[in-house]
Structure 1
Amino acid sequence: MLQPGSLTTVSTDDGDDDRTVNRYWRPVHRPSDRSHSYYADRLAALIERAAAERTDETTEYGLLLSGGSDSRLTLAALESVGCSANTYHINDWVNDEAEVAKRAAQAVDAEFTFLQRDEGYQARSLASTPSVSTFGGYFNQSHAVGFEERLRSDVDVLFTGHYGDMLFKGNHLPKPPVDLGPLGSFELPMESACETVEEFVEHRTDEAPAYLDDALDRSIHDLYRSNVTQRGDRIVDHGVEFESLREAVLCSRCPLTNGTSHFFYYGTEQLLPSGTLFLDNRLIDLFLEIPIESLVRGNLINRAIDRLSPELAAIPHGETGVALKHPFEVHWLGSLATSFKRNQLPSSTPSARSTHGPWPNHAELIRSHPFVRETIDEHEPLIRALPFLSWEKVNECYEAHLLGENNVSALYTLITFLEMPVTKRVAKQQTTTTTDTPRVTSRELVE
């Protein structure tokens, strides 16, 4: 295991297996007692500097622009340093989210292009993206793959607002849930702190899909727990050492580690040169200075936009319907109201898969489009060849989804895995019964 933020030196002398590790940086949370406004000012200044250092006059830039705030802060930073990026919004139809994104582009006179997904978009994405997957996310998280040709012909470099929410909204931290039954559920805007390693592991894990249950000799929780150790105050999570449980929780799903899905970012990089202004060492250091309260309730992204571009801050957020310049409390209530309206009240959309947000309703898409069923059937021999998959339970999972269960995660995990070239190599290994080729177990695959 190579430690992050370190230099590893391996001796090349014959018979000498010595290895030295010089760890020059590790994430340490040292919050300072400052106001929300102070951190917003710092964020605005640092992301503006990052934009200035990553742009020049000879390059054509693009930006994937949503109706939210992370990409809008990127737009504000680019505009503030004189970089006029072409903006692109990807959606199934011209819904509320698309209209807000268009308004944001028009507010700073940026060129705006609407890129429309059709019903077969996700099926085509499945046919192409798993070939570059690294087990770091679902196939559909390579968000712009269907528009590669258009983007490559228009721009040299594509920016996204990726990781802004993880760094400056604390959306990955555990929060107390509130379940209102048929009315829906939501999380309270405060951290539900992990006090023990067991609570940390519980936060980091989900149940295995049913089609793996019989193959696993232990639960996902137990498998994960076996790879987390405590050395005094320090926590070692799958070989990566954190100063304390505080750092392990705070940084477990941030871009500092591989502990979260990163295929949106990695997949976009496979299309054309791309990146996000939020992956900057100065911004990560700022993140580690900010108290949890400011991360969760400080409204830092919105405040930073207001510093750089009051015109952009005057436009509503696509999810809350509230202008970004307003306080956090108003946005939180607006988010609850929007969620209730979209989930509980009648709404006019072109199809069941269509929503008023940036993403399709994948649960309904699976029910209305045959691409998941076709992928499962096409790979029946492969599923049967792998000892950790159950053909019968795969079908039960799919049929249960058609009858109303939400098995999007399990089904998208499965079809992404089935389409990955490495999976066919694993299956081939199962059928090779020589002493030199040991069988791959489900535990080894999960770990």
Structure 2
Amino acid sequence: MGNALESDARFKQHLFEGVGFGLGRVSLDILNPQPQPIWSHDQSRCAVMEGELYDQQGLRWELEQRGVQFQAESDAELALHLYEAYGEDFAEKLNGVFAIAIWDGDERKMVVVNDRLSNQPVYYALTRNGLIFGSGVRALLTDPALSCQTDRLAIAQFLTFDHVLDDRTFLEEVKLLPQASLLTFRQTTGDAGRVSIRRYWELKYADAYPLRSETDYVEELKQLTRQAVARRVSGEMPLGILLSGGLDSRVLLGELADLVPGDRLHTFTWGIPGCDDSRSAKELAKVAHAQHHFFELKPDWLLEKAEEAVRITDGMGNVTNLHALAAAQEESQLARVVFKGFVGDAMMGYALVKRFWGDYDEETWFRAHLKTHTELGLITFNAQEQTRLFTDEFQRQIGDSVFEGYRMGLKRFGSREMAMQRLYFDMTQRVPRMTLHGVEVMRSYAPVRLPFCDNDLYDFTLRVPPGYLFERRLIARAFSEAHPALAKVPIAGSGMPMIACSREITARAWKLAQWHLRNHGLSRLAGPYARPYKDYNLWFRTLLRPWVEETLLNPTALGRGYFNPDYLRKLVGAHMAGAEHAVRLGAFLSLELWHKQFID
């Protein structure tokens, strides 16, 4: 299983096989490098862990008062001692990004726990031989008792939302451990054993809000953001940050620049040379006195790394979203640990729109949510298109389950408040099943720290009235007040600074000049509306065209039984003729490359 998870020499394997159980860790050994499993003093229990725990001092002191003696500065040891002290309730005390497995020899049980947002995924299955689990579906495929029957509903979900929903994977028997969950497996005589799963923490937004000023919320957000970043800065190792021209990464840059000397802080930006992100990021790094590095996102990067990207994400990540892998190796040679502005958009109101402030009947409510999802470009194939895409047999098998799953994912929040339903859906579905893939591909070369996932910061966002999150107002104001010099740098895309300043006047004047130039037929002088950092639509119909057609239009791919071959041929042909179907083709490429690696 270890080799199936990661076989490259840069990974270290710590494996142990006991009587009736086995545990192992496959890691870069940069953080928590001590050999694992970690054993209890009486050798009756052991633990393995991947990830990090933060804000530990209080927990260590608490355990030391109970007579615990620590052998090393190991997060896995801390987790094990907490389990010994508090039993299965130990997980409630943890703040971090982690997956932990503990074998309790006295009770003959395995305990597996993940963090609140499932930022270290754990996949599991119960076969005739017992429980198998790992950080990737690919590791579980080494068990010959595991069926390779594909989950057709998961495939349909992936082709609808660009991600799978709930706990599904592309294999029927393999599930994702839900967020903030504790799985317990007990060995029993005569059968494979029993699995139970319970949540140790529930994502719950406030039922009622205190009467506070916006300024109060802003000040608390600034303090908690500083604290979250500071908790993740330690030692003297060089640190990196994936820096775009947007908001979330510059928030982290501002805090890191206050904590880390410029010669140890590296900023990484990739894209098409001259793109909006590259220009904004370069200026941001200069203002922050950080060491900036730009990596060209080459049109043919997928030829070399697509299979690796699909392997890391077990096929469930669209290759057009996985470009963080393109420069990951080079970045890891400059920085030992990399920061990322992951989930800042989702938790701070990215998907909130005005229509959410209304009450609707059941059907209109659903269409309003779906319309927002579509407008944000998050629907790959809608229901009408799916009747032409899927074979009759495939459509018969999945029925209405795809959009019913979407409906239930929204309703699971338990309230009719649409803004909160959308925030809840993003944090429980889009983030762990889609956005996380960008973290996973980077994590295959360097540990990734995610300050926006800090427990205290996230708990704060659950207490903020949604009106303050609309148009990302709260985080934009907090950042602008905390780091005005960085706020003057234009946001990529809009080209406008975040605060009123002389550059705003210049930017508005240029936009007005561009309007007049285009209005007089001088668009060439006005320049493009935006300079994106990627162009898969162009790349798929030019340099990557032979690869796309060979991968998707060969007899094996067309004969999977999921899709109507003629529809796929027409889709590829339409794209090559000038239509823009890159995201759709990217989903098909991921699915086909996964089949070739793991199923065929």
Q: Decide: shared fold, TM above 0.5.
A: yes
Q: Does 1:103 align with 2:283?
A: yes
Pairing 1:292-331 to 2, within 5 Å after superposition: 292-326=466-500
Q: Does 1:115 align with 2:295?
A: yes
- Aligned counterpart, 2:317: 137
- Aligned counterpart, 1:185: none
The equivalent position to 1:172 in structure 2, one of 344, 351, 354, is: 351
Are residues 20 and 392 of structure 1, via their aligned partners in 2, closer, same or farther at CA, if it must alter by over 3 Å?
Answer: closer
Are residues 20 and 140 of structure 1, via their aligned partners in 2, closer, same or farther at CA, if it must alter by over 3 Å?
Answer: closer
- Aligned-residue offset at 1:395: 1.4
Q: Does 1:254 align with 2:427?
A: yes
- Aligned-residue offset at 1:194: 7.0
Q: Which sections of structure 1, spanning at least 5 residues, go unmatched?
A: 177-189, 230-235, 429-447
- Aligned counterpart, 2:415: 244
The equivalent position to 2:340 in structure 1, one of 150, 155, 160, is: 160
> Equivalents in 2 of 1:276, 1:152: separation in Å?
16
Does the aligned pair in 1 maintain the 2:257–2:289 contact within 8 Å?
A: no
Deviates more, 1:45-54 or 1:120-129: 120-129
> Equivalents in 2 of 1:8, 1:245: separation in Å?
31
Deviates more, 1:1-10 or 1:382-391: 1-10
AA matched with 2:312: V
- Aligned-residue offset at 1:343: 11
Deviations 1:161-198 (A, max 9, x none): 22211111x2234555xxxxxxxxxxxxx657776387
- Aligned counterpart, 1:38: 216
Are residues 37 and 218 of structure 1, via their aligned partners in 2, closer, same or farther at CA, if it must alter by over 3 Å?
Answer: farther
Does the aligned pair in 1 maintain the 2:316–2:591 contact within 8 Å?
A: no
Q: Does 1:199 align with 2:348?
A: no
What is the DSSP-based 3-state SS (H/G/I as helix, E as strand, rest coil) of the residue aligned with 2:427?
Answer: coil
What is the DSSP-based 3-state SS (H/G/I as helix, E as strand, rest coil) of the residue aligned with 2:294?
Answer: strand
The equivalent position to 1:91 in structure 2, one of 253, 257, 271, is: 271
Structure number with greater CO (CA < 8 Å, separation at least 6) is 1
Question: Matched residues, percent identical?
Answer: 20
> Equivalents in 2 of 1:220, 1:196: separation in Å?
23
Deviations 1:221-246 (A, max 9, x none): 822244478xxxxxx539x9533354
AA matched with 1:9: T
Are residues 223 and 129 of structure 1, via their aligned partners in 2, closer, same or farther at CA, if it must alter by over 3 Å?
Answer: same
- Aligned-residue offset at 1:324: 1.6
- Aligned-residue offset at 1:261: 4.0
Q: Which sections of structure 2, spanning at least 5 residues, go unmatched?
A: 1-166, 168-176, 374-378
Q: Does 1:52 align with 2:52?
A: no
AA matched with 2:342: H
Q: Does 1:389 align with 2:556?
A: no
Q: Does 1:4 align with 2:179?
A: yes
> Equivalents in 2 of 1:219, 1:305: separation in Å?
49
Deviations 1:231-285 (A, max 9, x none): xxxxx539x9533354543211226763544321222212211132111122221
AA matched with 2:187: T
Does the aligned pair in 2 maintain the 1:5–1:24 contact within 8 Å?
A: yes
What is the DSSP-based 3-state SS (H/G/I as helix, E as strand, rest coil) of the residue aligned with 1:87?
Answer: strand
What is the DSSP-based 3-state SS (H/G/I as helix, E as strand, rest coil) of the residue aligned with 1:86?
Answer: strand
Q: Please report the TM-score for the alignment, with normalisation by the length of structure 1.
A: 0.76
Are residues 227 and 305 of structure 1, via their aligned partners in 2, closer, same or farther at CA, if it must alter by over 3 Å?
Answer: closer
- Aligned-residue offset at 1:325: 2.5
- Aligned-residue offset at 1:396: 0.4
- Aligned-residue offset at 1:358: 4.6
